[in-house]
C-alpha cells in the first residue's frame, strides 16, 4: 500500500519516518522507502534517490524533523546542536540547488526560536507545512503557465522538473498537467538529458503515466525538432536563480536556450521563489556541482561504454544567462528577467 499516494516525498509523522521514492530504480521499479536512519537519508540526497530542487528542500526539512524527534532527551542544547550538525552536513551534499539551503535555513531558524520543550513538535509542524506549501506553490506555477500555453500545442523540456522533482506537480511540467486538467492536451518532446538520463527515465515515465503525449529525443535532436517547427515553447525548471536573472539548471539547458533563441521559440524557466538567490549578483557566482566520471562512462550501461582510464568532465549543471530567458513562471505570476531582482525570498511561502 502506498503511503505517498502520488507524492514524491512525505513525512509519516505517526511513525516518525521520512518516506521517498527511490528514483534511481525508475522506470523499471517503483519503490517507496521509509526510514529514520541518518545515513540512508543523506545517501538518498547524495545519490539522487531524491532529486529535484523543490523535492530535496522539502525532504531535508522532513529529515531534520525525523532525526530530532528520534532523540530521547528534551535538552535544548543537545537538540539544537544536532539541528546545526544535520543542517551543516546536508547543505554540502548538493551545493547548486538553493532550495536545500533555503529549507535548512528555515529549520535552523525554527530551532533557534523554539525551546527544549517544543522544538521537536515545531520541526514536525514545519516539515509538514513545507510539503503542503510545495504542492500549493507548484500548482500556482502550473496555473500561470497553462495560460501561456493556451495557443501552444507542443513544448520541449530538458531533464526532469515534473512531479518527481517536487512533492507533486513539479515546476516545468506543472503547466502541462494543469492544461490537461482543463481539457487541453499538449505534446511534449523530452530530452533524454545526460549524464543520468533523467528525461528518459523520469520525465518520460511520469508523462506516460499521466496520459500525456510524450516523445523522447536524444539531447542532440533538439535543434532538429525546432528547425522543423515542431516546438512552440520550451519549459525547464531550475536549481538556483541569481539576482540578475541568470539561472542554473541541469547540464545542457544552456544549449537548449541558445537553440530556442536562434529559432525564436519562447524559453520559459519555471520556479518557486525558494529557488531565487538574491545574495548572488549573477550566474558566475553559482557553484556548479561536478559529479563522478563513471556516471558518464559506466552508469546505466550493461558494460563499460568508454575506454578504460579516459577522463570525463561531468558538470551537473550549467547557467543560462537572463538574456536568453523569455520569462520566469512562478507562484507569483509570470515575471521577466529584468523584474526578478525586485523580489526577495522574504515574502515567499
276 three-state secondary structure: strand
Rounded CA separation 204/50 (Å): 17
Please confirm, yes or no, whether 282 is among the known catalytic residues: no
How many whole angstroms separate alpha carbon 31 and alpha carbon 23?
8
* DSSP-derived 3-state class of residue 332: coil
* Chain CA centroid to CA 173, Å: 11
| Crossing angle (nearest 10°) for helices 76-93 and 53-70 | 150
State the Cα–Cα distance between residues 237 and 101, nearest whole angstrom.
17
Question: Rounded to an integer, what is the distance from CA 162 to the centroid of its chain?
Answer: 8
What is the rounded distance in angstroms from the CA atom of residue 349 to the CA atom of residue 129? Answer: 10
Residue with cell 558494460: 303
Strand ordering across the sheet containing 240-241: 240-241, 247-250, 317-320
Burial of 344 (0-12, 13-18, 19+ CB in 10 A): exposed
In order, the DSSP letters of 131-183 are HHHHHHHHHHHHHHHHHHTTT--EEEE-S--SGGGSSSS-STTHHHHHHHHTT
Distance of alpha carbon 206 from alpha carbon 222, whole angstroms: 20
Which one of the listed residues 134, 239, 246, 277 is annotated catalytic? 239
Alpha carbon distances (Å) from 259 to 156, 225, 242, 253, 340: 11, 11, 22, 10, 23
Q: CA 271, CA 172: separation in Å to the nearest integer?
A: 8
State the alpha helices, DSSP H only, in 212-289.
222-227, 253-262
Chain-centroid distance, C-alpha 330: 14
Q: Which residues belong to the active site?
A: 239
Amino acid at each position: 500500500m502506498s503511503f505517498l499516494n502520488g507524492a514524491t516525498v512525505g513525512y509519516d509523522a505517526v511513525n516518525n519516518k521520512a518516506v521517498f521514492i527511490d528514483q534511481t530504480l525508475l522506470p523499471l521499479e517503483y519503490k517507496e522507502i521509509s526510514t529514520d536512519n541518518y545515513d540512508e537519508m543523506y545517501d538518498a540526497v547524495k545519490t539522487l534517490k531524491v532529486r529535484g530542487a523543490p523535492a530535496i528542500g522539502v525532504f531535508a526539512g522532513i529529515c531534520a524533523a525525523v532525526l530530532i524527534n528520534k532523540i530521547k532527551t528534551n535538552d535544548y542544547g543537545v537538540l539544537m546542536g544536532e539541528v546545526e550538525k544535520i543542517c551543516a552536513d546536508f547543505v554540502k551534499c548538493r551545493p547548486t540547488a538553493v532550495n536545500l539551503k533555503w529549507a535548512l535555513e528555515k529549520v535552523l531558524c525554527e530551532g533557534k526560536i523554539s525551546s527544549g520543550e517544543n522544538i521537536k513538535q515545531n520541526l514536525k509542524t514545519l516539515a509538514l507545512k513545507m510539503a503542503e506549501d510545495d504542492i500549493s506553490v507548484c500548482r500556482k506555477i502550473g496555473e500561470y503557465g497553462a495560460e501561456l500555453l493556451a495557443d501552444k500545442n507542443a513544448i520541449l523540456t530538458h531533464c526532469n522538473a515534473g512531479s518527481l522533482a517536487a512533492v507533486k506537480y513539479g515546476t516545468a511540467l506543472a503547466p502541462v498537467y494543469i492544461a490537461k486538467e482543463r481539457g487541453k492536451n499538449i505534446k511534449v518532446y523530452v530530452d533524454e538529458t545526460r549524464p543520468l538520463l533523467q528525461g528518459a527515465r523520469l520525465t518520460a515515465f511520469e508523462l506516460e503515466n499521466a496520459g500525456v503525449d510524450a516523445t523522447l529525443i536524444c539531447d542532440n535532436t533538439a535543434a532538429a525538432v525546432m528547425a522543423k517547427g515542431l516546438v512552440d515553447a520550451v519549459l525547464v525548471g531550475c536549481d538556483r536563480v541569481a539576482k540578475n536573472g541568470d539561472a542554473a539548471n541541469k547540464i545542457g539547458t544552456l544549449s537548449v536556450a541558445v537553440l530556442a533563441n536562434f529559432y525564436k521559440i519562447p524559453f520559459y524557466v519555471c520556479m518557486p521563489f525558494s529557488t531565487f538567490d538574491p545574495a548572488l549578483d549573477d550566474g558566475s557566482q553559482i557553484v556548479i556541482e561536478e559529479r563522478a566520471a563513471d556516471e558518464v562512462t559506466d552508469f546505466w550501461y550493461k558494460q563499460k561504454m568508454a575506454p578504460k582510464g579516459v577522463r570525463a568532465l561531468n558538470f551537473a549543471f550549467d547557467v543560462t544567462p537572463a538574456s536568453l530567458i523569455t520569462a520566469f513562471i512562478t507562484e507569483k505570476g509570470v515575471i521577466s528577467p529584468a523584474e526578478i531582482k525586485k523580489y526577495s525570498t522574504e515574502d515567499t511561502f
